[in-house]
Structure 1
Amino acid sequence: MPFPLFIALRYLRTKRKGLFTMITTVIGVTGVSIGVAALLTTLSVMNGFQADIQKKIVGAQAHVTVYAHMNPAREKKLREAIGAEAEIVATSPFALGQAIVTFGERSTGIVLKGMDPRQEFTVNDLSKSLTAGDWAALRPEIPEGGGKPVPGIVLGEELAKNLGAWIGDTVVLISPQSLSTPMGMIPAMKKFRVAGTLHTGYYEYDSAAAYAELEPTAAFLDTPGGLSGLQARLSDLERSDAVAASLQDRLGWDYRVRSFTELNRTLFAALKLEKAVMFIILALIILVASFNIASNLVLMGNEKLRDIGLLKAMGATPGQIRRIFLWVGSLIGGFGVFLGVLLGLVLCWIIERYPIVELPADIYYLSRVPVSIEAHDVFWVVVCGLALAVLATLYPAYKTAKVDPIEAIHYG
């Protein structure tokens, strides 16, 4: 065992003379423990929210989406490129555009997506999101009074509530694409029959998304080639960025290839920034708590002044004296970090298992706080806690090492 570590352990095991010194040690360990526990719990809760948001987004989006103005040659090239990617397990064509939906006196802007339900459900989990109605009802039906077949449309649950529309109601969609008539240019309009409502758990989709069959949607939006692109599902979601980059290289810049993380870059960047800010703020709490360890070392240095003088007189170098007190501070801080990690893991387990904190589901789309403990977060919390504890011990360690041995023995 190294000499500085041996002496440090002896100092920690020795009964302390001053009650105040003992109190500062307890306060230092407790402060570091609480700071580490708060940091670990906060990061785990934020991980849980991010994982929940990602799950909901992936439930409504494909892992990789390719956008292009289609024609037979481009579609052939696209399908060949997708076929060359072994990690792509399913694809689905789509038509996408913006429109205005009106029902009665209410109207709002929407994102209209045309798709083939059988293929669509192989690239996302929309089939599980339907809360009312039937996807089969998207097929055009002739109204009871006769006339042209009216295609079905599935609305996001919040969108349907805002419009006041329900299954069987007829809504009118207005496209930004204009039609040329003898009376001049007029916007394209088409009737759709509400076939169902869906709840993805992600408000941006539930309040502004609508789904219909591919052909009537492409015709209504006047989509070139009848397609806006293709979506793909991968065998490994974590590979979405790499596969998107590979497809972009194969296809060239006539095509826009986006992974689900790129399509939601702003959201994930905001979550990442928020997590970083919380880490810094809570790390400062650990730093403040570490100053109690520093004050404890100053008091210990005064208490052990005679011992330090004797050690120096026996040949101990200033570097060894410094390392003694660095070891003392590190061991105290390390014990606090250990207790903090243990406390944080217990808190995360309690939050996940028991509904201590209940959230209003109509606002957060969650009834309980999600928790996800990541190994790399635990690692960085431990590293941060230990680093701050050691940082706080540097000044008292260097100050103590400068003591003159004769004065220390005489006045200690």
Structure 2
Amino acid sequence: MKFPFFIAKRYLFTSKSKNVVNIISYISLFGVAIGTAALVVVLSVFAGLENLILSKYNSFDPHLKITSSVGKTFKISDLDSDLKENNNIEDYSFVLEEKVLIEHEGKKKIAEIKGVDENYHKLVNIDSIIKIGEYFSDKLYRDKNVMVLGSGVSYNLSVDINNMFSQLTITSPNRNSKYIKDKSDLVSSAFTPIGIFSVEPEYDNQYVLIPLNRSQKMLDREGEASSAEINIKNSDNMHHIKTELEQTLGEDFVVKSRLEQHEFLYKLLNSEKLAVYLILVFILIIA
């Protein structure tokens, strides 16, 4: 190791400091140093940006999400026992989602109701996302038509949580109707808003939380769910547990990791990092 340093010292610190070789060496050294520093800084920024963006989704997304590969919903009884017996799972919740029309005092908005069971608050830190009002974890609300709206949905519909007489109408297609021809092909239910949550604009403008049993009744999906959301004990083993669940559940179910739930965003971030890396490496090679 001493010999290369000796050669470098001879070239960089020779008494003839103004010869051409010396000048070129200093310029090259400066270029490599700047390029390397820029590479480190830019990649660090992108890594931080990725973590920041994904952390916003992580507050609402589970470690793993299971959906049916053969239909829109599945019977909860088909999955419940397998999840209970898995020692790697910390908590899980069954969810029923559906796009609906929500109306309030003449204003309308297409949104997505997310019917969640009594375990949902164990997956999501509800207290940290509820900004106004409360959540329906209390048994008092368990069998009531109550809702917690995303802040964007609430804003678009001008909902006043403090008005105890405020009600919103949720309308969805009748399960038994193939086409919507008149009102008989629609099902409507009145819900009382009790809270507003805020996580990230994409979710705030899209989701409304209601009790699972109310969504099942309204959508005529008794005993069914559209997904199972899971938090595991050790997130470092996510890939292993995902593979294990896929083998246990078979081809009838699809298991997605937290990143796979936002696959496009994840690929986009990685593509940008790769592009920046290649550009800066090219600059270093030239330098």
Same topology, TM > 0.5: yes
Structure 2 unpaired stretches of 5+: none
Residue in 1 aligned with 2:169? 172
d(CA) in 1 for partners of 2:244, 2:152: 37
TM superposition shift of 1:216: 0.7
SS of match in other structure, 2:231: strand
- Structure having the higher Rg: 1
Q: Are residues 84 and 156 of structure 1, via their aligned partners in 2, closer, same or farther at CA, if it must alter by over 3 Å?
A: same
Tell me, yes or no, if the aligned pair for 2:121 and 2:137 is still in contact at 8 Å.
Answer: no
Instruction: State the superposition RMSD in angstroms.
Output: 2.7
Identify which of 217, 221, 243 aligns with 2:215: 217
Change (3 A) 1:184 1:190: closer
C-alpha distance in structure 2 between counterparts of 1:19 and 1:170, whole Å: 84
Seq. identity, %: 24
Deviations 1:7-46 (A, max 9, x none): 4443334223425544433332222222222221111121
Alignment of 1:256-267 (within 5 A): 256-267=254-265
Rounded Cα–Cα distance in structure 1 between residues aligned with 2:196 and 2:183: 36
Structure 2 residue 163 is the aligned partner of structure 1 residue 163: no
Task: Find the counterpart in structure 2 of residue 198 from structure 1.
Answer: 197
How far, CA to CA, are the matches of 2:278 and 2:284 in structure 1? Answer: 10
Q: In structure 1, what is the equivalent of residue 97 of structure 2?
A: 96
Partner of 1:14: 14
Residue correspondence of structure 1 range 11-410 to structure 2 within 5 A: 11-18=11-18, 21-68=21-68, 69-71=73-75, 75=77, 77-116=78-117, 118-136=118-136, 151-167=145-161, 168=163, 169-178=166-175, 185-200=184-199, 202-223=200-221, 225-288=223-286, 290=287
Normalising by structure 1, what TM-score?
0.60
Q: 1:96 to 1:80 in 2, by over 3 A?
A: same
**1:94–1:230 CA contact under 8 A, matched in 2:** yes
Q: CA deviation at 1:283?
A: 2.4
**More helix by percentage:** 1
How far apart in 2 are the matches of 1:150 and 1:234?
A: 30
Q: Quick check: which one's strand share is greater?
A: 2
Letter of the structure 2 residue corresponding to residue 94 of structure 1: V
Question: Structure 1 CA distance, aligned partners of 2:8 and 2:27?
Answer: 19
| CA 22–159 in structure 1, closer or farther in 2 if over 3 Å, else same | farther
SS in 2 for 1:86: coil
1:379 alignment partner in structure 2:
none
TM-score when normalising by structure 2: 0.84
Instruction: Give the total of aligned pairs.
Output: 275
Contact 2:132 2:195 (C-alpha < 8 Å) held by counterparts:
yes
- Is the 8 Å Cα contact of residues 74 and 226 (structure 2) preserved in structure 1? yes
Contact 1:151 1:216 in 2 (8 A): yes
